[in-house]
Structure 1
């Protein structure tokens, strides 16, 4: 039986959509939980994701007053497990993108394996000490079956990004916390290999936190893919032919260059090549079908598309499933990702000509496009100088982004002649979208306090 689905996109995972009063939601959900525990029924306004998780928690016979998660690995076992797990490559990225920027924001960041066992945790020191009371520590296990509804355990159950806000937790001692968690996928198989979780007060259940963790997941998965490619490179170079280059940024169709000859591709052939480029170890016909089409598609459809691509470019793709590239194919999107990994933000923006294949509706392409764009946006917001950030704000993807314009305004000195332009942009966007004049949307920076 497959995992339950709760609609498409990130909206289904949000715990606190814009306009929801956090304090009121906390109290009403706490009352709903008490009613559920006594009657096994939940109000219709409760998120289906939470209702189903509470039902599973009750089915698993989780004590709703359980005080802490079980700690099943000691420090030596955690170190040994992490030493043998490719997930260790994620830690420097999590430190750079989540821990360091959020040191004063009151959050903690955890990395767990595919069994929801916490292998690494860092963040605000005061919050880390408080989290020890619920055993949010290395070696603890946060599956729903052991601890009830929580972002890590519920993401483990659903295989998707999940936010859990305060009193939505099944166990009452965790009600002072909120969290967002999302799965990491193995670049070779597409299977879940771990989870990233951020925990703190109610701001970590905001839409901004969901977008932030999704962009961080993209960065980590790109690093895992790079590490795997580096390990396989000697074998691959020995058997592959000349390199090829595919341009997809800001283009409706790809431009392929092989041996100095360039040609425009159809959208379908571009999608095929891009998906194979980001999965260098190959994809089966079924996996390609899932990533190519919004609806379930027969494998024969994919096989026909690959056959047509091979007729046009016979040296590019292996003839049988799993399909893989016979040449080393580089993309302009990969160039942007590599620049971001190096911290070369100005270079990344120079290379970013726009979203990857903006007209493509292929699920795998859309995921790749969204990840790269949000990774670039978050990197610029957090680390880029004002000149680079202002260039992005003036671009097509940035010109309607209020948070970006506000960040520019904060970084410009008071005497700068550019403040007039930026203030006008901020005011115009606030009027357009109905935001109050003192709104400050800066990811994890805004702090609110929940009732204890």
Structure 2
């Protein structure tokens, strides 16, 4: 489009925008894509005079979301493909999650400072229903590469920007998991940029497909090593990988609980297997236990069957609370236990949905509860405290329960466990038990523990180490 045509289109857009902002009928409408987006945005309550996309994630949340996001390993590829363009032409490259939350960005310092002013920065939400018509939000809403020029943005503050964005679909789940975007000052960003951004999204999808096939092959090898190859092998999202040569189940099954009714009316039972599932004619004798590791300074983990995976702090908190409340909790109760009066049940429901995507149907609803045996290191610690086995207690306690958690209930449980372990070891612990506790985060500088150890014979190296800590 020539500058002359751009000027004419800009005049049309300004008139239409003024009418939309004041609730009047539009004298001339933008192109259909933008007209439909404006209507969706206005129905969502977006203020055309808004100043920025909203900030919805703090820095700690962003770190956890990035680490768990499937696009994390592909960032070098995306950066290599697009960041050169962004850096050399005063543009910024943005990568979001499937909701439109900015997870990563690259560009030179000058354009990043301009981007900060409108929320083109980590943690800001660019979904249409949060920021109105824009490249990211409209690409996610329509499911295809999109270029949004200057005054086509609904928020007036974005009229100095243009952006090209394309959604990225996960071949494993078939769901949109992210969006890649290049944004810049209006006339510096050629509409043809959308073709490059779209090609970059397809390149990312092809890499995700390669990685999916590699995971399938590893899972298939584990399955084929089983005696008699029981059941049908499914991926984490229900894709049929092996065991159904006639294809009677189709390409994918909706995972809807441990007991499933298939299309032919037969009943099958779902159980975790490595990073996927086995679909069996009969259930296993005992359901697999959920194994939680939440003590100490390491990353919390969850294990189910043959699967072991790291947990974000948020997910570890939820699973720990549900373990401590086996009768179950409503979304409102769980939100209060996690965040106190500042909690939001909507956030809890979204996190439970993500957790069920990772762990399957071990989580039931109404109320939220764990419906499988639970083996948690902090629950085992409670049992050892009751048994009085101080040697086993000292070995089983690597440190506090989820030390980074600010949840009121987790903090209370953490402090109670720490106090009880310490008191038990001070009353009944052997020098070996006290020395083991002294290696924990809180035990390293515990005066009473170190004082007891320093009273050991001078030839005992633990005595010298304790005195060194007491009198550095």
> How does the TM-score come out when normalised to structure 1?
0.49
Kindly indicate whether structure 1 or structure 2 has the higher relative contact order, using CA contacts under 8 Å at least 6 residues apart.
1
Higher strand share: 2
